[in-house]
Chain A
Amino acid sequence: MRARNTELAFLALAALVAAAAYVAVYAGRYREISHWSLIYAGIYVVIFALLHLVVRLRLPEADPYLLPTAALLAALGLAEIYRIDPALALLQGRWLVVGAAIFALTVFILRDHMRLDRYRYTIGLIGLLLLLLTIVAGTVINGARLWIHVGSFSFQPSEFAKICIVVFLAGYLNDKKEILSMPTSRFLGMSVPQAKDFGPLLAVWALSLLLLIFMRDFGMSLLLLAIFIALIYMATSRVVYALAGLVLFAVGAALAYQFVGHVQERFAIWIDPWHYAATTGYQLLQSLFTMADGGVIGQGLGRGYLLFPNGTPVVPDMPTDFIFSAIANELGLVGAIGLILLYLVFVWRGFHIAIYASDGFSKLLAAGLAAAFGLQTFIIIGGVTRLIPLTGITLPFVSYGGSSLLANLMLVALLLMVSHRANVIRAGTAEERFRLAEA
């Protein structure tokens, strides 16, 4: 239970930061400090207190740092979304409630992630179907087919598909890792796996290319490919797979550049946004301007110039893809680095869990999820800061978006399960271990 007390202490800290953030944002908007600003903080505190209770009840031995890190990220995101558009923050607040329910359901119903291994093909299929569904029924927003609309309700299946695919790959690769890592032929003095063992790699590569062509979801296809390369490397410890993956990535990128106009455009903007300053490069340049305006210590939460006089954000899509630019403006370099370090902490805990997990599936699952989380962060922040070409994808826990929030809370639940199981097996009592086996 010591772990849970640590978690509670850190959550209290996150709640304090959240309260301060809401007060600052509220004061910045209405030039006053009122109890309303604390009500938002209150709702947020209640949600994470409940999540803490769920973990305390079901996963008492789980890692104590993941949930507070996620809570802090969500608090910053919610405060910044509120600052840009209070109506959107209300929606995001609702999504947080739904996400908390999903988290609780995942923990209570699934109870142990090992059960997922049994259904890995089903889950992989679900992931594929989710993507197919988007291709067939999705609507195009910002040149990418990412969203499914059902009535007034819309969701982004690729966020869930990502988790399904990690689960499937972790199970599949854990099964096949011995065969895959068996050196059977030699090439250029290196021992190389048999050609047929590259099959799955080619399949995922083809899938991400299809994603790119039919959904124009450059970000997600990049992410899937990167996750796959990371997982196959971790499963086999063979650098040759990573290298082969990178080669395939390069070929895929070249093909995409040749045949998908959208990709060419993104690439051209990345190389020289100034040339497209008035048109397609506008958004990226506004993002850079907004960050530069923040300087080292930032304009202060709620005090940056993020909205034009008519209320539209200075960077289009600010609450979703460009939330990082807004935070970098108001919290400055200090806040921007702090935010990136929070992601680093989250990724570190994820990999830490993987290393201490007792079986291959758990290891690959935790490492795969942590890698997915870190790579997604890199892809979007790298995009809005012009380190890499911009591809629209959400910043985990911080961007506005229900699907992303739900999926990421599920991701946390899974990581906590892996962690709990590992810690029980390592240090738990016989009774606890028995209970685990029961489940």
Chain B
Amino acid sequence: MNRAISRTFLVIGLLLCALIANVVYIQVIDASNLKSNPQNRAQILQQERIKRGNITAYDGTVIAGTRREGSYWVRTYPLGDFATHVVGYDSLRYGRAGIEKSMNDVLSGQSTDLGVQSWIDRVLGRRPRGGTVRLTLVPEVQRAAQQALSGQRGAVVAIDPATGAILASASAPTYSAATLSKDWPRLSKETSAPLLNRAMQALYPPGSSFKVVTAGAGLRDGVVTPQTRYVDTGVYRVYGGKVVNYGGEVFGPNTLTQALTFSINTTFGKLGNQLRHSRLIGGAEAFGFWKRPPVELPAGEVRVSGRYGDGSLLPPSAPMDPLAVAWAAVGQEKVLATPLQMALVAAGVANGGRVMKPYMVDSVISPQGKTTAVTKPGTWTVALDADTAAELNAMMQEVVKVGTGTAAALAGISVAGKTGTAERAGANQAWFIAFAPADAPRVAVAVTIEDTYGTGGEVAAPLAASVMRAALAQGRLP
């Protein structure tokens, strides 16, 4: 009888061990799945009881604050629709986006970046308090950027070329985070996609603004100089196809500098085939194409620029025939770029060829008011050597002085820039990338307007000027 009793004990012991294994599965192996499950209301409600940290502009102005409502905290937006796409939203129903998502650990007080007191609070089981996220956005510049876009579809990005700090990032049309849950059904269906952060999430053909990249590749590798001569007949025939100029213009003999100044497609098409596939694409990669800019936004909210086929990024080595190379060199073909990437191209030239890591979180401030983490600027990629950058800088100044970008000129300040007018679905995608002052750059911008009938020089250049003016009027920038 004892043997049977021992065996029964063994069976029951094994059953209890099965319970242990199952609990390990739930609490360790499957735990993160269960925690992030949208049905998990308690998890979300728990978050709502935490006083979320503020999101402020560089000067400390509160962009997203909190207000008490019973035992809950509700987000407030004292500046209204200010940098909405950057700040994002924190919604019970629709989840999180933007800085609210990527910096959630700090904002909800769970980050280790918040210092000893937060840690003590956690050990004592006190409800955590959120830390403040201070952005690099400068209110005046951001406002100028938003104003520039008003009534249009497009984006503006302004960067401090020396540090990579993002001074402004605007996308239009926008939405209101305060009334998100009410507006969501409409917003998510709207054809103008107001929820999309065009500044970093939208991919557009860069058109002639990409010529800066092509010229940089040519100069860097010594294939050409700014004085290299070309003859334009209005048509560059290649590989059974042709490259023509915007508006069917014919320029005759021209130098590379003139080709950039007046945006001569045929010359850049030829340059493309002088460089060939590998050096053209290599030049783009040197500016950050095919890499995700390390901005502090959620992974899906910053897209990679490069060549796209059927909606997905083609590898740099994807084959191109000479016609494709010619059109890619003028920023058409399958080349797509985000406004952020094009701003980084301008910033790279401005900063002597060195593209700084773009960032928009300046620092993290603990609930006790102590700054506990500060972003240190760093190099993201080296696009050009300093001499090449200086040559390109001079060429880009010609664009604003006498070329297609005269509308971007600022009184008493030298501006370097490049227009772009890409054809997209029957209308124009107007671009302007620029930096100023050209001899000691403090701001680099990219402006793009969707679905317009004007050119980059007509539509985007004046907007770039107003944003740069606002930036240069500021004393200290991040």
Q: Which chain A residues have a beta carbon within 8 Å of chain B's beta carbons? A: 27-28, 230, 233-237, 274, 277, 285-286, 288-296, 299-300, 302-303, 305, 308-309, 314, 328, 332-333, 336-337, 340-341, 343-344, 347-348, 351, 354-355, 360, 363, 367, 370-371, 374-375, 377-378, 381-382, 385-387
Contacts and interface: CB of A to CB of B under 8 A. Distances in A.
A332 B31 CA distance: 11
B124 to A, nearest CB: 9
B42 A314 contact: yes
Contact of B1 (A28, A299, A332, A363): A363
A245 to B, nearest CB: 12
B45 A309 contact: yes
Q: 5 closest pairs, A vs B, by CB?
A: A292-B34, A303-B125, A351-B9, A374-B12, A292-B31
Contacts of B45: 305, 308-309
Contacts of A377: 16, 19
Contacts of A292: 26-27, 30-35
B15 interface: yes
B110 to A, nearest CB: 13
Given A230-B8, A277-B39, A340-B16, 17 more contacts: A237-B4, A290-B42, A291-B23, A293-B35, A294-B27, A295-B27, A308-B42, A332-B27, A333-B27, A337-B20, A341-B20, A363-B1, A367-B5, A370-B9, A378-B12, A378-B15, A378-B18
19 contacts: A233-B7, A277-B39, A289-B40, A291-B26, A291-B34, A292-B30, A292-B33, A294-B27, A295-B28, A303-B125, A305-B45, A308-B42, A337-B23, A340-B23, A355-B6, A367-B8, A382-B19, A385-B19, A385-B26
B1 A234 contact: yes
B474 interface: no
Most buried by A among B8, B37, B39, B45: B8
B179 interface: no
B71 interface: yes
Interface residues of B, number: 40
Given A302-B125, A348-B9, A387 B28 contact: no
Contact of B19 (A299, A340, A351): A340
A143 to B, nearest CB: 23
Contacts of B39: 274, 277, 285, 289
A176 to B, nearest CB: 14
A351 B3 CA distance: 11
A290 B37 CA distance: 12
Given A291-B23, A314-B42, A347 B9 contact: yes
A355 B19 contact: no
Contacts of A385: 19, 22-23, 26
B19 A378 contact: yes
Contacts, number: 141
Contacts of B43: 289, 293, 305
Nearest to A31: B126
A15 B404 CA distance: 86
A333 B42 contact: no
A295 B32 CA distance: 9
A293 B42 contact: yes
A308 B37 CA distance: 18
Contact of A305 (B9, B37, B42): B42
A344 B16 contact: yes
A360 B13 contact: no
Contacts of B42: 286, 289-290, 293, 305, 308, 314
B227 interface: no
A351 B35 contact: no
Nearest to B30: A292
Contact of A233 (B4, B28, B34, B46): B4
Contacts of A374: 12-13, 15-16
Contact of B125 (A28, A336, A370): A28
B16 to A, nearest CB: 5
B1 A351 contact: no
Nearest to A290: B42
Given A291-B23, A374-B15, A387-B19, A351 B5 contact: yes
Contacts of A235: 1, 4
Contacts of B31: 292, 295
A158 to B, nearest CB: 20
Contacts of A236: 4
Contacts of A302: 125
B9 A387 contact: no
A348 B13 contact: yes
B144 to A, nearest CB: 43
A371 B11 CA distance: 10
B12 A355 contact: no
A308 B43 CA distance: 11
A153 B19 CA distance: 34
B312 interface: no
Given A296-B27, A309-B45, A347-B13, A354 B22 contact: no
A391 to B, nearest CB: 15
Contact of B2 (A230, A290, A328, A355): A355
Contacts of A291: 23, 26-27, 34
A289 B37 contact: yes
Contacts of A375: 12, 15
A72 B15 CA distance: 22
A294 to B, nearest CB: 6
B79 interface: no
B374 interface: no
A309 B35 contact: no
B440 interface: no
Contacts of B46: 305
B35 A336 contact: no
Contacts of B23: 291, 328, 333, 336-337, 340, 385
Contacts of B24: 333, 337
Given A286-B42, A332-B27, A385-B26, A363 B5 contact: yes
Nearest to B18: A387
A274 B23 CA distance: 19
Nearest to B31: A292
A389 B20 CA distance: 17
A387 B70 CA distance: 40
A332 B34 CA distance: 15
B3 to A, nearest CB: 7
B93 to A, nearest CB: 15
A355 B5 contact: yes
B20 A340 contact: yes
A387 B39 CA distance: 20
Given A288-B34, A305-B46, A360-B1, A382 B22 contact: yes
Given A292-B31, A371-B12, A387 B6 contact: no
Contacts of B40: 289
Interface string B36-51: 0101101101100100
A309 B71 contact: yes
